[in-house]
Amino acid sequence: GREVLAGGAVLLRGFALPHDKALIAAIDAVAAISPFRNMQTPRGFTMSVAMTNCGAAGWVSDGRGYRYASRDPETGSPWPAMPEALRGLAESAATQGGYPDFHPDVCLINRYAPGAKLSLHQDKDEREFTHPIVSVSLGLPASFQFGGLRRDDPIRRHALRHGDVVVWGGPSRLFHHGILPLKEGTHPELGRIRLNLTFRRAL
Ligand code: MD5
Ligand code: FE
């Protein structure tokens, strides 16, 4: 199914399902080099979502702010390369979503356990907002909050389930969004976990 959520935002239900085991294996390989960690917000809170990255740079948060860094601050080494299985899926989803020229250079991997959440925010740490973001959901379902350009625009909720892919481009690229606290549950492949991959052109 191809569902338009807003201008430029296309939900590809189950698009990643045929590749779920390969994606999970690729994520495990990344996390074996750069482990998941709970980063600090600039204001000194610990994020409930655990994160790692692959690609030419990784999204990091600490007392100095949010940014893309070419090295993993925990290991001191470059982030692991983006596995071809991940890049290929992101590019085919982007093409399906109407962005045939998308070539991601970074992938942030978010890991949610029950109770973990991502407060309403905009993605603004990339150099250009002309490129879309491709997001892949695996494991436990989540309730996704989707607002507008202004923080006080009305917010709708969408369920994102195992294998769902969303392509966020055009006007929706800068819309406010978040993830409500993950509900308890068990997924056959991932157990009590939700994983989300976000592919971006950041540099
Ligand atoms: C997640 N991650 O489920 C979400 C999926 C993040 C993040 O929000 O920043 O790591 S990405 C959802 C997204 C990206 C870009 C634009 C919009 C949503 N949007 O217009 O709603 O862990
Ligand atoms: Fe975001």
Q: Is residue 140 lining ligand 1, measured as CB closer than 6 Å?
A: no
Q: Which pair of structure tokens corresponds to residue 81?
A: 């390369």
State the chain's mean pLDDT as an integer: 98
**Given the CA of residue 175, which atom of ligand 1 is nearest to it?**
20
Do 13 and 3 form a contact (C-beta atoms < 8 A)? yes
For ligand 1, atom 21, name the residue with the nearest CA.
Answer: 177
Q: Is residue 168 lining ligand 1, measured as CB closer than 6 Å?
A: yes
> How distant is the alpha carbon of residue 182 from its chain centre?
15
User: What digits encode the pLDDT tens for the residues 35-71?
Assistant: 999 999 999 999 999 999 999 999 999 999 999 999 9
Tell me, what's the ipTM?
0.98
C-alpha–C-alpha distance, residues 159 and 74, integer Å: 33
- What was the pLDDT predicted at 15? 98
- What was the pLDDT predicted at 43? 97
Which domain does 138 fall in, by range?
2-200
The residue type at 73: P
Ligand 1 centroid, distance to 171 Cα (angstroms)? 14
Structurally, the chain folds into a number of domains equal to 1
User: What digits encode the pLDDT tens for the residues 131-166?
Assistant: 999 999 999 999 999 999 999 999 999 999 999 999
Ligand 2 centroid, distance to 12 Cα (angstroms)? 18
User: How do 50-55 and 106-112 pair as beta strands?
Assistant: antiparallel
- What was the pLDDT predicted at 63? 98
Q: What is the pTM of this model?
A: 0.98
State the burial class of residue 193 (Cβ atoms within 10 Å of its Cβ: 0-12, 13-18, 19+): buried
User: What digits encode the pLDDT tens for the residues 77-91?
Assistant: 999 999 999 999 999
Going by C-beta distance under 8 Å and a sequence separation of 6 or more, which residues neighbour residue 25?
85
Q: Is residue 146 lining ligand 1, measured as CB closer than 6 Å?
A: yes
pLDDT band at 1 (very low <50, low <70, confident <90, very high): confident
* Top mutation candidate among 5, 122, 135, 197 for ligand 1, by most atoms within 8 Å of CB: 135
Q: Is residue 126 lining ligand 1, measured as CB closer than 6 Å?
A: no
* Top mutation candidate among 123, 146, 182 for ligand 1, by most atoms within 8 Å of CB: 123
**CATH number of the domain to which 79 belongs:** 2.60.120.590
